[in-house]
Structure 1
Amino acid sequence: MDGLAAPGTGDRPMLGQQELSGVLLREALENVAASAVVVDDDGLIVAANSAAQRLLGRAAAQLIGHDSHDLLHRNKHGHSVPRTRCDIRNALLTRATRHGNAEWFVRGDGVLVQLSWLITPYTTAAGVTGALALLYEQEKTYKSDDRHSAPLTELDRLALLAETTTQLTSTLDVDEALHRLAALTVPRLADWAVFDLLTEHDEVRRVLVMEYKDGILIEREDLQGPMPPVPSQSPMPLSRALRGAASSLAGPATYQGPPDSGIAVEQQRLFTETGMHSAAIAPIRGLRDVLGALTLGRAQRHDPFTPSDLPLLEDLTRRTGLALDNARLYQRQRKVAETMQRHLLPQLPSLPGLEMAARYLPAPDASSVGGDWYDAFALAGPAHALAIGDVVGHDLDAAAGMAQVRNMLRAFAWSHPQAAPSDIVTRLDEAVMHIAEVPMATMILGRLTPGEDALWRLHWTNAGHPPPLLVTHDGQAGYLDEAHGILLGTGVNRPRPDAVTVLPPLATLLLYTDGLVESPHHSIDHGLDRLRRHAASLAHRPLDSFCDLLLDQVRPSDNDDDVALIALRTPSLAEE
């Protein structure tokens, strides 16, 4: 095709329609002043203009062909954002035009930048569909070298309060709520935002200090940490706010005299370290208690706070108190639920010569409990039972159903110690259908027994569960696909198969639930292959490290399911 030109294109080589469309797209993007990125329907970057490459600190070759979400999108801690919670991804899938503020993206040098975005669908002349995304830095309310800032109008105040309500009521995470409020008030109202919270034991922690510098918000962890107790009589502004008194103004002169408490010493340090010349301090009140205090400080802005600023600050902290009350109540409920879940799971028995470890991780965005469970217990003689299962659901009902299934399994297995695992599971299935409040469940039941050759044997049956994974000491990993039958609770009466395998010395056997391998955006085969490869690479790790690293490396970031796993490692023949 060299030397051929498309009609009306001068010396441009003639290209296919799709290739020509791509060339024209890239040329058009260069005429866009904003940072522009084009993605296809799968979210893969197909073009990025020079402005986007500069903003993201990545050359075109480092962008094109990569998944835009996985490569760029992060939360405030630099971790990947679950795809199910990504507004940009959802807009792409629904072909909607959406706008967002204050999202975090990672540059090529690893630095996080907070950007606004606008995404809209497009269709090329060749019929290729995707979306155009514009990325830009948030508009700055004022320049850092301004000596004075224009006061907020009444409309500005109402807009700020409305935005605060929207931002704070859309999260149930205390840390996230505080970061959102800091982003709303700095630099719009101040150069610094300082949050001091009271714990349930009336201890004080300076949980967040945010500074506006060089056009970005910076978290000053060096100024955060535990604080001295709240004095009962101190007239100092922060002490009074933490006792629930009305908001007040403060400055360096407020704390120049001899300190009357440890908190006053810390406030002296705060003013010295930050250079604040004016501060407004207000209590954060919940429905029943004082939860903490917010300090807004000005250092670069030369105009001080005045008493007319305090009503707005109190409106902000009133909304903050309600949001923190809700978040803390939710977190207490999560803690209670998770504690209940963990108490429902058993302590692992001590097996002679065998190492055993188990892990349970609650679903990140559900009620913190679910139907995933594991179990291991002694049978008559030298045999031990090993089980893992998953009851349908991610709530307290699923957790209660899990406890029913596990307890019935123990009873059947103990009362029939010589029965094949398939017979035990068949009895359990009949019981689930008639006396348990469980819709459906999957599980694996195995019996571990030592042989005369000093090797352990696994005799198992599988009721619709992901297959066990066996990893040898030299890094060979394979799934035990035999003995696979239907799940529990279907009402279908079919024979259940059994299988037996010899576990080699120093081998690792892993039983796990589907939350470790399933993802809304990948097939189960992809997840199983990923687990197999990672497990093989960790074959020489100590068993606890093996389990922790698997959870860290394999569990999909976009999976909202809980995860349970149980692993055992056989001894070497020398140990026997």
Structure 2
Amino acid sequence: MIRVWEVSDVTGAARARIAVARLAAAYGVAPLERTRLTASLGARLRRCLAKGGTWRLTLETGTGTGTGSGTETGTGTETGEETGTGAAAGGDGDVLRAVLTPSPRASAAGEPPWRMSVPRSGSAPGADAAGEAVADDPAVPAEALLGADEDTALVLDRLGEQEALVVFHREELHQTNQGVVALHAELDAAGRAQREAFAAERAARTEAEHARRRLTFLADASAVLTASLDHHEIVRRLPDLLVPEYAAHVDVWLFDQDSDPRGVPAHPAAAVRAARTGRPQYAAAQPGGLPGVDDQPPSALDPGRPLLCIPLPTRRAPLGVLTLSPPGERWDPDDAVMLVELTRRASIAIDHAQRYEHNRDIAETLQRALLTELPATPGLALAARYLPATHGLNIGGDWYDAFRQPDGGVIVVVGDVTGHGLRAAVMMSQLRTALRAYAVDGGSPGRLLTRLHTFLHHLQPDLFATAVIARFHPEEPTLTWAGAGHPPPVLRDADGRVRVLDAKPGAMLGIPLHQEIADHTVRLAPGATLALYTDGLVERRAQGIDPGIERLAQVLGSFDPRELATDLEGSAEGILRPLLRDSERDDDVCLLLCHHTGPA
């Protein structure tokens, strides 16, 4: 089917438009597409009438080859581009194609033809005659107008639906945007909370590390301070511990040092106040804000430097004041708390060291008072050495003694009461006195040890002792000796030969056992030297006692006979040096040398 109209005026254009609308309806064009076709054709016809001339409108059915939806005007000649919609755009199915060819004058001016295709679903009966009566029927324009209004209403309904859909989607998009905004706000808040949590965790970890470092330093410093029993050494170690990490300068003021005749040094006012109040003082231009510390004006001795003055407390009164200057501008409050605690521990260590030194001095005085001055005996030279243990109080149960008996004999003895301290020293003094009392009645070394055994067993059942006694007599060329649980004597003969007098000794004194301790006799020539000693000289924990006795015998045998005869005191020192070299002694050491010079 092909229909052609010549359009040159408004009436012809209206009739052509009505005819196209009727034919589009007859050929099954959908109302929306039909409205799009007639509206586009009407707009195009108005433009054509404005340009003048006669325009040809052709309407035909056929297979569509359109290129898209809507209306598009070509830019070429009569064979210009075609506009299609719906199914025609896909190239399949039937279409209704409208072509508006310009007048020759418009064509000469370069006006291209206009084309438009719309899909159709089929033909209604009498479709070919649908446009025949347009020119003769006066009701056709009215019917066309109403039909156009109906199509327009349908389009408006579709447009309303689309607008409602747009409004719905706009509201949905708005809600989505609100949700996205809220989600972003929640994510931002969660991120901020997470960052704050991470920052708090880092701060807590850093603070825990600092606290661990302070506690480790406090424990290590406390171990260093309590390792010594010399308060001067403790005072010397304090600056080494604190400088430079916790202090730039450290001064220790001990009150007992003010008795120094060289003069009393000046101390900051804050240190004096700390000594009087027993509270830590901080002297600076600005308050320190340190916990448990009082703020004071800057020191007149050093106004440009903050000072922290901490008393050295004891249960009675402060021992002194520790004055520190900060390593930087000021102290961290936690560092100040740690410094106060360290000062308290240092004060306890200094107090214990001073108490120990005081008690040690008393003990040494008592020990020296209990030791006998060796008698000057014709035919016999004596030399003794006593060294207290390097640990603990320098007082114990080791003793030596030498005295004459009424018959002219000389008794020499070295003994060792078990244990240390005042109790052992008192028991040693009682044994020494008892031995002298028993020796007045005479008696051999074995008899004297037997009586001491009985005496100790009844006097102190839980205390024991060892001893060795030797008897020299100027008129007898023999040495008589006896031992009770004690290391054996070592004898150097006049010819330089050394032997250990290890004949069977008696058991330890004081044990719950009845015993009669036997005497032993050995010939003695002028020039012989006897060494009596306690186990502290020869016994070492890692080696036992026998190697020590062998070393003693070697050292004693190495002396020149003239040295023993002329300088027995020096010989005693010569024995101690190699045996005690680089040794920290846990036990007292006692050595008694007896050199037989011959008849008086």
Match of 1:385 among 405, 411, 416: 411
Q: Which amino acid counterpart does residue 349 of structure 1 have in structure 2?
A: P
Residue correspondence of structure 1 range 91-240 to structure 2 within 5 A: 153=210, 156-169=213-226, 172-178=229-235, 180-190=237-247, 193-199=250-256, 202-204=258-260, 228-229=263-264
Residue deviations 1:385-412 (CA, integer Å, cap 9, x gap): 1111122223433223222222221111
Distance 1:191 1:526 in 2: 53
After TM superposition, give the deviation of residue 512 of structure 1 in Å: 0.5
1:530 counterpart = 2:586? no
What is aligned with 2:315?
287
Letter in 1 for 2:264: P
> Equivalents in 2 of 1:394, 1:358: separation in Å?
20
Distance 2:253 2:555 in 1: 43
Deviation, 1:495, is 4.2
Q: 1:524-555 CA distances to partner (integer Å, 9 max, x unpaired)?
A: 21111122222333452632233234333213
- Give the gaps of 5 or more residues in structure 1: 1-151, 205-225, 251-266, 269-275
1:467 counterpart letter in structure 2: P
> Residues 495, 157 of structure 1: CA spacing in aligned structure 2 closer, same or farther, 3 A cutoff?
closer
Query: Is the helix fraction higher in 1 or 2?
Result: 2
Matched, 1:371 2:370: no
Over aligned residue pairs, what C-alpha RMSD do you find? 4.0
- Conserved in 2, the CA contact under 8 Å of 1:458 and 1:500? yes
How much has 1:311 moved relative to structure 2? 5.9
Q: How does 1:522-561 map to 2 (within 5 A)?
A: 522-538=543-559, 540=563, 542-555=567-580, 557=583, 559-561=585-587
- Maintained 8 Å contact 2:447/2:518: no
Q: 1:354 aligns with which of 380, 384, 404?
A: 380
CA displacement 1:33-60 (0-9 Å, x = unmatched) = xxxxxxxxxxxxxxxxxxxxxxxxxxxx
* Partner SS for 1:393: strand
- Counterpart code for 2:570: S
SS at match of 1:331: helix
| Alpha-carbon separation, structure 1, partners of 2:268 and 2:584 | 50
Structure 1 SS opposite 2:386:
strand
Deviation at 1:195, TM superposition (A): 4.2
Residue of structure 2 in register with 1:466 after alignment: 487
Distance change in 2, residues 1:247/1:546 (3 Å): farther
1:392 alignment partner, SS class: strand
TM-score by length of 1: 0.55
Aligned partners of 1:291 and 1:362: how far apart in 2?
A: 29
| Matched AA of 1:392 | T
CA gap of 1:243–1:548, structure 2 versus 1, over 3 A, is farther
Q: Secondary structure at the match of 2:508?
A: coil
In the aligned structure 1, how far is the partner of 2:313 from the partner of 2:545?
48
Residue 344 (str. 1) matches residue 401 (str. 2): no
Deviations 1:6-31, CA, capped at 9 Å, x for gaps: xxxxxxxxxxxxxxxxxxxxxxxxxx
Instruction: In structure 1, give the amino acid aligned to 2:531.
Output: L
The one-letter code matched in structure 2 to 1:174 is: H
Whether contact under 8 Å (1:196, 1:293) holds in the other structure is yes
Quote the Cα distance in structure 2 between the aligned partners of 1:304 and 1:545: 61
CA deviation map 1:131-175 (0-9, x unaligned) = xxxxxxxxxxxxxxxxxxxxx956644554454445445654424
CA–CA separation in structure 1 for the residues paired with 2:249 and 2:597? 58
2:590 to 552, 560, 564: 564
d(CA) in 2 for partners of 1:318 and 1:281? 13
Residue 502 of structure 2 aligns with which residue?
481
Task: Give the residue type in structure 1 aligned to 2:259.
Answer: E
Question: 1:358 is aligned with what amino acid?
Answer: A
Q: Do the aligned partners of 2:461 and 2:511 also contact (CA within 8 Å) in 1?
A: no
Instruction: Quickly say closer, same or farther: Cα 1:430–1:156, change in 2 above 3 A.
Output: closer
| SS of residue in 1 equivalent to 2:319 | strand
Tell me, what secondary structure is at the counterpart of 2:401?
A: strand
Counterpart secondary structure, 1:567: strand
**Which TM-score applies when normalising by structure 2?**
0.53
Where does 1:7-18 land on structure 2 (aligned, <5 Å)? none
1:511 Cα offset (Å): 0.8
Higher normalized strand content (fraction of residues): 1
Structure 1 counterpart SS, 2:396:
coil
Secondary structure, aligned partner of 1:484 = coil
CA distance, structure 1, for counterparts of residue 362 and residue 310 of structure 2: 32
Partner of residue 423 from structure 1, selected from 435, 442, 447: 447
Q: Tell whether 2:342 aligns with 1:321.
A: no
**Structure 1 Cα separation of the partners of residues 212 and 502 of structure 2:** 66
One-letter identity of the residue aligned with 1:406: R
Q: Which amino acid aligns with 1:499?
A: H
User: Is contact 2:471–2:481 with CA below 8 Å preserved after alignment?
Assistant: yes
Distance in 2 between residues matched to 1:228 and 1:238, nearest whole Å: 18
Q: What amino acid sits opposite 1:203 in the alignment? A: S
Q: In the superposition, relative to structure 1, how do residues 179 and 349 fare at CA in structure 2: closer, same or farther (>3 Å)? A: same
Distance 1:243 1:529, change over 3 A: farther
| Counterpart code for 1:512 | Y
Within the candidate set 441, 463, 479, 1:439 is matched to: 463
